[in-house]
Structure 1
Amino acid sequence: MGKGIFLSKAVAVTCVVAAIGAAATIIALSVVFAQEKSKNEALSSSTASPNTIPPVSTTPSTPKEPWDHYRLPHSLAPVSYNVTLWPRLKPDANGLYIFTGHSVVVFRCVKETDLIIIHSNKLNLTKFEGHLAKLTGLNGATAPGLKTSWLEIPTQFLVLQLNSPLQAGSSYELFTDFVGELADDLGGFYRSEYLEDGEKKVVATTQMQPTDARKAFPCFDEPAMKAVFHMTLIHPPETVALSNSISYDPVNVTRDGHSLFQTAFEPTKIMSTYLLAFVVCEFTFTTTNTTEEVLIRIWARRKAIEEGHGNYALEKTGPILKFFEHYYNSSYPLKKSDQIALPDFSAGAMENWGLITYRETALLYNPGVSSNGDKEWVATVISHELAHMWFGNLVTTRWWNDLWLNEGFATYVSYLGADYAEPNWNMKDLIVLNEVIGVMGVDALVSSHPLSSKEEDVMRPEQISELFDSITYSKGGSVLRMLSEFLTEDVFSRGLQTYLKEFQYSNAVYTDLWKHLQMAVAESSIVLPHSVEVIMNRWILQMGFPVVTIDTKTGNISQKHFLLNPDSVVNRPSEFNYEWFVPVTWINTGGAEQSYWLLDKEATNINMSLGANEWLVANINMTGFYRVNYDTENWESLLAKLSTKHQDIPVINRAQLIDDAFNLARAKMVSTTLALRTTKFLDKEVEYMPWETARRNLNYFFLMFDRSEVYGPMQAYLKKQVTPLFNHFKELTVNWTKIPESHTDQYNQVNAISMACSTGVEGCKELTTGWFREWMKNPSLNKISPNLKYTVYCSAIAAGGVDEWDFAWSMFKNATIASEADKLMSALACTKQPWLLNRYLEYCLDPAKIRKQDATSTIITIASNAIGQPLAWDFVRAKWNHIFNDYGGGSFSFGGLINGLTKRFASEFDLKQLKDFKEDNAGQFGSATAALEQALERTEANMQWMAVNKDEVLNWFNSETSPL
C-alpha cells in the first residue's frame, strides 16, 4: 500500500439468483443495517427476514476454542472462489446503500477436522435449512451434515460445526449468500461519492488490505491463503465494472425489474485476498497503443480524463513497468495494468494486482494547476505500487509481521523506478529527506519497535493496522537501501531475481530473502564480515539505530544506541544488546573515500589518513542508517569548512551534518550551540537539501519557543539567513516571473518565499498577499504559480481575515482538481482567527464539507498552527468517542493524528493532560496506541530539553542578531 497507500462465466453459480435479488430480503436487511448504525448490537431476530440471521455472537463459554483465536486453523486451504456481487448505487427506503452477493469457495481439507472456520465481518448471511452456508463434497467426497453455525463477532469468523469430520485430501465447496452495507467507511466494499455537472455520482470500490476482504464476502482472509478468484459484478448499464483481470463482454440481465449488466472476469492468478479489487463506476480511461503486450489504462472521473489529468501517469507507467521487468528479470505477470483514481480513498494507493487504486492526488496531474511536488508524488506512488506487482503480489509475505519487508522494499525501489522515469530529479538523493531523516526521529524513541515482529505478537486487526507506520515504510526502505549499498545494487538485484523465481505465486519470510541475497554474494567478489542474515538481523530484530562516534585524533570508532532522551529507560530487551554491524564510510579533506565494518562497541587505531587541520565527514551520502558524532577538533574543522567553502562537502552530507548535530544536541551529546552553528553557512547556501534539513530542525525550536521570549531573536536570525536565499530566487526567476529549471530549485524557491514571509523579509508578504488579492478580484483567473500556491494561500490567509478565509473555502468547495483542493484545505488552517479555526474543526467531522479520508490530516494541519493547536487538542478530546467509532479505530492515520496534536507538548500541564487522555479513553486508541506512548515519551523529552536549553538558545540568537 502506498503512503503513508491494494472469471469465468462457465463456472458462475446461477442457482440462487432469485435469492440474491429478493426485494423482501433487501428491505428487511436494510432495517438491520439501520439498527447496526445506531449501535444496537443485540438485534432481534424478528427484525430480519425469516431467511436471514443477524450478525450476533453466540460465543461458547469455554475459553480458547479454535474460533476464539484470531488466526485461522491450518486444517483447510482455499483453492478458488466464485463471487458474484451486486452493489446498489442508490439508497434504499432507509437511506442505506447495500450490496447483495453470493460466493462459492472451493477448499481442500489438509488435516481432518469437524470445523469450518472462515472470515466474515459485517455481513448478514442467508440461512439454508437453519444454517448460514451450504457444504458440498467434490470429486466423489461426501459432505458431512452441519450441526450448528454462527458468526463469531470478536474474531470475525463464520463458524460451522459438522456432524462428522472432513477427510484429509478431499475437496469441498462452501456456498454463502449475503447482504452487506456499501458504507462510506473506506474499507472492504465501500462507496465513494463525487459531483459531476451538479449531479451526485456513486462509485462502488474496494480496499481489502489488511483485513477487510471479509467485509465483502466470506473468505480465508490471510495472506498465505492464496487462491484463484472468479469475479462477477452486476451493475447499471451506464457504469463499467473493473476487477483484477480482463473482463468478458457484459451480458444483459434483469433483476427486480431492473435492466442491468452482468460482467464476469477471467480467473485471476493465484493470489491473496487482500489484493482483490473491484470497482463499479461511470469513469472513463486513457490508454496506450493497444499493440503493447500489457494493456495500460488510467481510469478517473470523466472530466479528469477528458482534460488530460491522466496523461502523465500513462506516460510514466510503461517505462516504470519496463524498469522493474529488467530489475527483477521477470516479465509483468498479467495481461493488463489498470490504475484508477478514486475521490475517496484512505491510503495513498493500494497495489491490487492488475487494478491499482489511488487517491486522485496520487495519480492525476494537471500541469497548469499541480505543482512539481504533486508531480513527484504521482511518479513515486506509481513506482511504489508497480514495484509491488512482483515484490508483494507475485511473492507475498506469509504473515503481517513481515509487512516491513513488503512496504520497506517498495519504498526503497520506488525511488529507483521514479529516478528511471525522471532522471533529472535526483530521486536517489531525495530518499534521504523523504524517508531516512524523518523516521530517525521516531526510531530514536524507546517507544519505537523493531521492523520485524513475532507472528504471535501481531494477531488482531488493529495490531496489524498499527504496523502501517513510518518504521515499516521509511525505516524499512532505509535499511534496505543501506543493504543494497554495501552489497552493490547489481548483487542486490540478482538476489531479488532468484528469490522471486523460487517463491512466485507463493509466500515467503524475510529469511528467504536473506538466503537468496547471500547466494548472490557468493557468486560475486563482495566480501562481508558476516552473512547477510547475521548482519541484517541486528537491523530488523531490534528497534533503534546507533550513533557512531569517530575520534579523528586517535583513530577510535565506537557505537551506542542513539536515544533522543538519553535518560529514558529501554524496556524492550534485545538479544543483540543494541549493538549493530555498521558499514562506516567516510571522506576526508582530499576527497579519498574509505570504509570500515564496525563489528563491536569500539574499534581502535583506524587509519583515517588525516593530516593537521584536516577534516573528515562520515556516512557518505547518508547511505548508512546511523548518526555520526566527532571529536571537538573535527567538528570545528567541519564548521570552518562550511563557513569558507561549503561546496567541498557533498550536498547530502551538508544536510546530514545539520541533522546529526541538532539531534545529537537533543540527546545531550553535543551542545545546542554547536548545532545552531551548523546553520550559519546557510546565508551562502542555495541548495535545497541543506536548507530543508535546517528548516525542519529549526521548526522544532519554533514548536518549543514560539510562545516565549526566544521567538523574536529566533525570527530575526532566520530572517538574516534566509534573505540572501530570497534575493537569489528573485534574481533567478527574473523577479518571480519564471520557474526555476531544477527540480530541487523549484522546491527551494518555495522554502525561500515561505521562510521569508514568515520571518518578515521585506517585500515578501506584499508579494504573496498581492497575488492572492488579484485572484480574489477575478476568481476564474488564478495566475499564482502551481509550485507557490500553498505558500501564497497560507501567507495571505494568515495575514487576512474572514474575507480571505471565506474566499478560499469557496474555492476549495468548487475545486475540481484534487491537488488544488488539498492545497486550499491545508492553507485554510493558516488563519490566525481562533473562531475560524474552531469553525474549521467542526467542518472536519462533517463529511459533506471535509471528506472522511481528509478529516484527520486536516485536524493535524490545524494543530500545526500555534493558535490552532490548543483548539484542536480540546476538540479531539471532546469528540474522541465519535472520531474513534465513526472514523475507524483501525485506521493507520490515527497514529498520525495523536502525533500531530502533541508535537508542541513541552510542559508539566501538557503531560498531565496527555496522561488523563490516555486514562479516560483506555482501550479506545486502536492503531494509535503506540503513537500515544511515543507522544508521552516525546513530551517528557521536550520538557527536559526546554529546561536545559532555553537560556542558552536565547543567548545564542541574541548574539547572532545584535548589532556589532
Structure 2
Amino acid sequence: MRACACVTEHRQTDRQTASWEKVSTSVKGAGAVATIIALSVVYSQEKAKNNPTSPTDAPATDAPATDAPTTDTPTVTTPAPSNEPWDKYRLPKSLVPEHYNVTLWPRLTPDETGLYVFTGDSSVQFNCTEDTDLILIHSNKLNYFKHAGHLAVLTSVSPGVEAPAIRSSWLQPETQYLVLQLHSKLLKNHRYQLWTNFTGELADDLGGFYRSEYMEDGQKKVVATTQMQPTDARKAFPCFDEPAMKAFFDITLIHDRGTVALSNGREKESTNVTRDGWEVQQTVFETTEKMSTYLLAFIVSEFGYIGNMTDNVLIRIFARKPAIDAGQGDYALNKTGTILKFFEQYYSSEYPLPKSDQIALPDFNAGAMENWGLITYRETALLYDEKFSSNGNKERIATIIAHELAHMWFGNLVTLRWWNDLWLNEGFASYVEYLGAHEAEPDWNVKDLIVLNDVHRVFAVDALASSHPLSSREVDIQKPAQISELFDAISYSKGASVLRMLSDFLTEDVFKEGLKTYLKEFAFGNAVYTDLWKHLQTAVDANASAVGLKDSVEDIMNTWVLQMGFPVVTINTTTGALSQKHFLLDPDSIVTALSPYNYEWIVPIRWMMNGAKPQEPYWLRKKSATHDAMKTSQWLLANLDVVGYYRVNYDDENWNRLVDALNTDHKVIPVINRAQLVDDTFNLARAKIIPTVLALRTTEYLNKERDYMPWSSAIGNLDFFYLMFDRSEVYGPMQKYLQRKVTDLFYHYGNLTDTWKTVPDKHMDQYNQVNAISLACRTGLDECQTLVKNWFKQWMTSKKNTIHANLRSTVYCNAIAAGGAEEWQFAWEQFENATIASEAEKLRSALACTKQPWLLNRYLEYTLDPDRIRKQDATSTIVYIANNVVGQPLAWDFVRDRWSYIFSEYGGGSFSFSNLINGVTKRFSTEFELKQLKQFKEENSDVGFGSGTLAVDQSIERTIANMKWIADNKQSVLEWFHSAVNR
C-alpha cells in the first residue's frame, strides 16, 4: 500500500494537493445503541428471508451470546477479565485455513431505516494441527444468524471423522473474535469446515467492506468496495485474518443487475438470478492463488473501463464512466504494461495472475492498495487529465502504479509472516517504485527524487529520540492499533532508503540475483526479513570478487534495521580521522531505547575530492578510524549521490572549501550533493554540531542555481525558519534575503517560457518553475503577486481557466492569500463543482491559504461535514489550514476541542492521525504551547490517539527542541540576515 504523501509530505511545491497517502480508516460506531436498534430491523427482515427453518433465530450482535434459547434480542453477558485464548490478539497455531467459499450481497440502496447493509455466508475449510476444543476466527462488526442456537455450523471434511458439537459460541469485541467452544476436541491432522451466515453495515467508514458515493448526472451513485489492510477483512466475513494464514478463496458476489462486480480472481460466470424475490446478478470468480486475507478485494459499481492485453495478461482501468469517457484512464493503461514487464524482468519471474485490474475510487483511505489482481486507488493516484493534471500528478500516478505492481511479487507472492516486518514490504516497494517509474518515463530522472522524497524526509523523523527501529519484535505488535501505527515514514521511507543503500553496495545485479532466489523459494508462502538477507548473502558469495564485502549482509544490515536513528559521520581532512555518532536533532534529548549495537553502524562511504572521479568506497565499522587517503587540502565530498543513510560533517576548513566551490562554480559538485550540502548543514546546525550561519552560507550561491533539487532542499529547510520566525522580527529581513535570491530564478523562468506562456520541456525544470513562482510570491515580489492575481482574476471574470495545470496549486494559493471572501468563495464553488479529482485537490489545498480567520474557521467546520469534505480528506485539510501561520492556532484549537469526536468518527485505526498531530503542532516553539500539548496528551489519554500515539510524544520532543533552537539562534540569525541584505 502506498500510504502518505501520505504519512506523506508533499513532494513538490506544486503538489500541495497530492492526496494524503496515510489517511483515515475511520470507524463508525456500529456498536452504538441507535445503530444496533436500526440494524435489528434489517436483520429481522433478512432472517425471515434467509433462515426460514429457524424462525426464532436472530443475528447476534458484537456481544457475547449465551447458550440460552435464542430470541430476537440476544442475551448479553460480559465475561470477567481473564487470560483465556480469546483475550489474546494473536490466533493460536492449532488451526490453519486452506480454502474459503464466500458469497456476499451488498445493497446499494438504503433500507427504510436509512442503512446500507450487506448479507453473506462463508465457509472455511481448515486443517487441525494440534488437538483443540476451541475455534477462534476473526470477526468485527458482523452480526450472525444463529443455527441450532449457535453462531456457526461445524462439519468434518475428513472421512470417518465426526465434527464435535458446539458447546457455546459468542463474539469477543475487544479482540475481534467469533469464539466457539466445543464439547470434544478437533483431532490433529484432520480437516473441518466452519459455515456462517451473517450481515453487516455497508458503512462509509473506509474500512473492510464499505461504501463510496459520488454524483453522476445529478444522481447519487454508490460503490460497494473494500480496504482490508491491515486487519479489516474480518469486517467483511469471518476469517483467520493474519498474513501468514494464507488460503485459496472462491468469491461470489450478488449484485444489482446493470452493475459490474470485480474481485481478485478472473470472472468465471455471471448470470441473472432471483434471490429472495429480487432480480439480481450473480457473478462467480475463479479461485484465487494462495493468498493472505488483507489482499482480498471485491467491488460492485456502475463504473466503466478500458483495457488491453500485454503478454497474455488482461490489463483494465476502471473508474467513473465520465472519467473513462474523458480518457482519464489512458495514461495509467499505457504505462501499466510497461511497468509490469519491467518488474517481470527485475524479479526474473512472470506475473503470477491472468489479469491486473486497477480501479479509481471516489472514497479511499490510502493512496492505493495492492490487492492481488484488483488494485484500488484514490482517483488522484490513477486518473490523469492533461488539461487539469500537473506533471507532479503525472509522476505520482507513475510511481504509485509502480509501487503497487512491485507488491504483486514482493508482498503478495511472498508475504511477510507478521506485521512487525511491514517495513520490508513497504520499504522495498517504496524503493523500486522509482525504478519502475523510470522505466515508464526515462526522461524524468525520477530515480534521483528518492533523496528529497524519502531520504531527507525521513531523516527529520528518525533524528528524534522518540523514533523507532525498522523492525519491531513480533510480541510488541499485537493490537490492530499497534499494527496501524507501523504504517509510518520509518517503514516506508527509511525502509526505502536503507534498501537503496544495500542495492548500491551489493550492486544492482547481485541484489536482483538474491531477490530472484528469495521469491522462488518462498512463492505463495511467508518469510521474515532475515530470509532475504540469506538469499542476498548467497548471491554475494557467488560474486565475491565483484562485490568485495568483508562483512556479511546480515551483520551490516542489522545495524540499520534493529536500532533506530542513523549516524552523522565526521571527516577531518587535516588528519584523515573519521568518526560516527548517533545524530539527534536535539542533542540534549535523552535516548531511553537500548540499542543492540550501542548506536554504531557499519557505514559504506562513497567519496570524491575536488571534482575528480569517485574514490574506492570506505567502510566505517567503529566509532572512529583513520583513512589517510582522506587527508587533503582540496575539498572533499562524502556520501556521493546520497546513497548512504547518514549525514556528513567536516572540519571547518573543508566546509569553507565546499562553500567556496558552491560560490565559485557550483556545477563541480553533483546536483544531488548540492541538495545534500544544504540539507546536511541546516540539520547539523539544528543539532548544534555546526553554527547556523554556516548553513545559511550554503544558500548564498542560490541566485546562480537553476536546478530543482538544490532549490527544493533549500526551500524545504528554510520552511523551518518560517515556522520558527514568521511571528518574530526575523521575518522581515529573512523575506528580503530570500526575495533577492529567488528573483533571478523567477525571471529566468519568465524568459524561458516566453513570459509564462509555456512551460519548460524538462520534468525537473517544470518543478523548479513552480518553486520560482511560489517563493517569489511568498517573499512579496511585486511582479509575481501581480502575475498570479491577474491570472486568477481573469478566471473569475471570464469563467475560463487558462492557468497551466503545473502552476495552479501555487497560483490558487497565492491569489487566495492576497484576496478576500470573494476569491475564497469563487474557489470554493469551483471545488464543489470540480469533476476532476486532481483539480479538486489543488483547490482544496489552496482554500487553506486565505489570511482571513473567519474563512479558515468556517473551512475547519467544513472538514467534519462529509457532504462538503470527504472523510478521506478531513485530516489532511486540517493540516493544510495549520500550515498557514494564521490558520495554525485556529486548527490547534479546533483539534483540541473536537478530539474525541474526530477520533471516534474519523478513525481510531486511521493511518492519518500521526500526520494530523504533527501537522497542527510543528510550529510549536514556546513554553505555553508545550504546556498545551502536554495537557492535550493528558486530557485525552482515555480517548486515545490511535496511530498518532507516537506522534504526540514526537511533537512534545520537537517543541522542546524548537524552544532551545530559537533561544540559541534567534539573535545570530537576525544579525546574519541583516548583514546579508545590506551586502
Identity among equivalent positions (%) equals 65
Match of 2:111 among 92, 97, 100: 92
The aligned amino acid for 1:868 is G
Residue 608 of structure 1 aligns with which residue?
A: 630
The aligned amino acid for 1:815 is A
Q: Name stretches of at least 5 consecutive residues in structure 2 with no aligned partner.
A: 7-27, 45-55, 65-76
Once residues 571 and 536 of structure 2 are traced to their aligned partners in structure 1, the CA distance between those partners, rounded to angstroms, is 30
Give 3-state SS (helix, strand or coil) of 1:190's partner.
strand
Does the C-alpha gap of structure 1 residues 97 and 37 become closer, same or farther in structure 2, counting only changes over 3 Å? farther
Match of 1:528 among 549, 568, 574: 549
Once residues 655 and 961 of structure 2 are traced to their aligned partners in structure 1, the CA distance between those partners, rounded to angstroms, is 25
* 1:313 correspondence with 2:320: no
Match of 2:842 among 823, 829, 846: 823
Residue 3 of structure 2 aligns with which residue?
A: 3
What do residues 660-698 of structure 1 show as CA deviations (whole Å, max 9, x unaligned)? 000000000000000000000001000000000000000
* 1:304 correspondence with 2:323: yes
Residue 751 of structure 1 aligns with which residue?
A: 771
Give 3-state SS (helix, strand or coil) of 1:337's partner.
strand
Give 3-state SS (helix, strand or coil) of 1:368's partner.
coil
What do residues 498-543 of structure 1 show as CA deviations (whole Å, max 9, x unaligned)? 0000000000000000000000001112111210001000100000
Match of 1:844 among 857, 863, 873: 863
Once residues 150 and 45 of structure 1 are traced to their aligned partners in structure 2, the CA distance between those partners, rounded to angstroms, is 17
Match of 1:437 among 456, 480, 498: 456
* 1:278 correspondence with 2:285: no
Q: Name stretches of at least 5 consecutive residues in structure 1 with no aligned partner.
A: 7-32
Contact 2:611–2:669 (Cα < 8 Å) also in 1 = no
Give 3-state SS (helix, strand or coil) of 1:250's partner.
strand
Give 3-state SS (helix, strand or coil) of 1:773's partner.
helix
* 1:624 correspondence with 2:648: no
Match of 2:151 among 132, 137, 144: 132
Q: CA deviation at 1:252?
A: 1.1
Residue 174 of structure 1 aligns with which residue?
A: 194
* 1:54 correspondence with 2:61: yes
Match of 1:776 among 796, 811, 816: 796
Q: CA deviation at 1:606?
A: 2.7
Once residues 559 and 679 of structure 1 are traced to their aligned partners in structure 2, the CA distance between those partners, rounded to angstroms, is 26
Residue 957 of structure 2 aligns with which residue?
A: 937
Q: CA deviation at 1:607?
A: 1.2
Once residues 290 and 901 of structure 2 are traced to their aligned partners in structure 1, the CA distance between those partners, rounded to angstroms, is 40
Residue 583 of structure 1 aligns with which residue?
A: 604
Question: Could you tell which deviates more after superposition, 525-534 or 434-443?
Answer: 525-534
5 Å-filtered alignment, 1:418-817, equals 418-524=437-543, 525=545, 526-594=547-615, 595-608=617-630, 610=632, 612=633, 614-779=634-799, 781-817=800-836
Contact 1:48–1:54 (Cα < 8 Å) also in 2 = no
Contact 1:34–1:94 (Cα < 8 Å) also in 2 = no
Does the C-alpha gap of structure 1 residues 702 and 291 become closer, same or farther in structure 2, counting only changes over 3 Å? closer
The aligned amino acid for 2:466 is S
Does the C-alpha gap of structure 1 residues 105 and 489 become closer, same or farther in structure 2, counting only changes over 3 Å? same
Does the C-alpha gap of structure 1 residues 379 and 589 become closer, same or farther in structure 2, counting only changes over 3 Å? same
Once residues 590 and 902 of structure 1 are traced to their aligned partners in structure 2, the CA distance between those partners, rounded to angstroms, is 42
Q: CA deviation at 1:761?
A: 1.5
Give 3-state SS (helix, strand or coil) of 1:560's partner.
strand
Root-mean-square deviation (Å) = 1.5
Q: CA deviation at 1:54?
A: 1.6
Contact 1:120–1:218 (Cα < 8 Å) also in 2 = yes
Once residues 882 and 710 of structure 1 are traced to their aligned partners in structure 2, the CA distance between those partners, rounded to angstroms, is 38
Once residues 301 and 38 of structure 2 are traced to their aligned partners in structure 1, the CA distance between those partners, rounded to angstroms, is 33
Match of 2:909 among 879, 890, 904: 890
Once residues 341 and 517 of structure 1 are traced to their aligned partners in structure 2, the CA distance between those partners, rounded to angstroms, is 36
Does the C-alpha gap of structure 1 residues 679 and 44 become closer, same or farther in structure 2, counting only changes over 3 Å? closer
What do residues 149-200 of structure 1 show as CA deviations (whole Å, max 9, x unaligned)? 0001100000000000000010010000000100000000000000001100
Once residues 39 and 446 of structure 2 are traced to their aligned partners in structure 1, the CA distance between those partners, rounded to angstroms, is 58
* TM-score computed with the length of structure 1 as normaliser: 0.95
What do residues 425-463 of structure 1 show as CA deviations (whole Å, max 9, x unaligned)? 111101101100010000000110000000000000000
Q: CA deviation at 1:824?
A: 0.1
Once residues 919 and 626 of structure 2 are traced to their aligned partners in structure 1, the CA distance between those partners, rounded to angstroms, is 43
Contact 2:29–2:905 (Cα < 8 Å) also in 1 = no
Does the C-alpha gap of structure 1 residues 5 and 788 become closer, same or farther in structure 2, counting only changes over 3 Å? closer
Does the C-alpha gap of structure 1 residues 666 and 62 become closer, same or farther in structure 2, counting only changes over 3 Å? closer
What do residues 327-349 of structure 1 show as CA deviations (whole Å, max 9, x unaligned)? 00000000000000000000000
Give 3-state SS (helix, strand or coil) of 1:36's partner.
coil
Once residues 611 and 213 of structure 2 are traced to their aligned partners in structure 1, the CA distance between those partners, rounded to angstroms, is 61
Contact 2:31–2:62 (Cα < 8 Å) also in 1 = no
The aligned amino acid for 1:539 is W
Once residues 78 and 601 of structure 2 are traced to their aligned partners in structure 1, the CA distance between those partners, rounded to angstroms, is 47
The aligned amino acid for 1:607 is A
Once residues 516 and 92 of structure 2 are traced to their aligned partners in structure 1, the CA distance between those partners, rounded to angstroms, is 32
* 1:36 correspondence with 2:31: yes
Residue 72 of structure 2 aligns with which residue?
A: none
5 Å-filtered alignment, 1:334-353, equals 334-353=353-372
The aligned amino acid for 2:896 is R
Residue 859 of structure 1 aligns with which residue?
A: 878
Once residues 199 and 148 of structure 2 are traced to their aligned partners in structure 1, the CA distance between those partners, rounded to angstroms, is 18
What do residues 310-367 of structure 1 show as CA deviations (whole Å, max 9, x unaligned)? 0000000000000000000000000000000000000000000000000000000001
* 1:874 correspondence with 2:893: yes
The aligned amino acid for 1:951 is Q
Match of 2:98 among 73, 79, 88: 79
Contact 1:43–1:56 (Cα < 8 Å) also in 2 = no
Once residues 934 and 130 of structure 1 are traced to their aligned partners in structure 2, the CA distance between those partners, rounded to angstroms, is 50
Residue 243 of structure 1 aligns with which residue?
A: 263
Once residues 199 and 466 of structure 1 are traced to their aligned partners in structure 2, the CA distance between those partners, rounded to angstroms, is 38
Match of 1:380 among 396, 399, 407: 399
Give 3-state SS (helix, strand or coil) of 1:70's partner.
coil
Once residues 823 and 38 of structure 2 are traced to their aligned partners in structure 1, the CA distance between those partners, rounded to angstroms, is 50
5 Å-filtered alignment, 1:394-409, equals 394-409=413-428
The aligned amino acid for 1:36 is G
Contact 2:328–2:385 (Cα < 8 Å) also in 1 = yes
The aligned amino acid for 1:86 is W
Contact 2:463–2:565 (Cα < 8 Å) also in 1 = yes
Once residues 41 and 213 of structure 1 are traced to their aligned partners in structure 2, the CA distance between those partners, rounded to angstroms, is 21
What do residues 352-399 of structure 1 show as CA deviations (whole Å, max 9, x unaligned)? 000000000000000111000000000000000000000000000000
Q: CA deviation at 1:61?
A: 2.6
Contact 1:466–1:928 (Cα < 8 Å) also in 2 = yes
Contact 1:42–1:56 (Cα < 8 Å) also in 2 = no
Once residues 313 and 46 of structure 1 are traced to their aligned partners in structure 2, the CA distance between those partners, rounded to angstroms, is 44
Give 3-state SS (helix, strand or coil) of 2:162's partner.
coil
Does the C-alpha gap of structure 1 residues 544 and 883 become closer, same or farther in structure 2, counting only changes over 3 Å? same
The aligned amino acid for 2:359 is I
Contact 1:5–1:347 (Cα < 8 Å) also in 2 = no
* 1:187 correspondence with 2:182: no
Q: CA deviation at 1:36?
A: 3.1
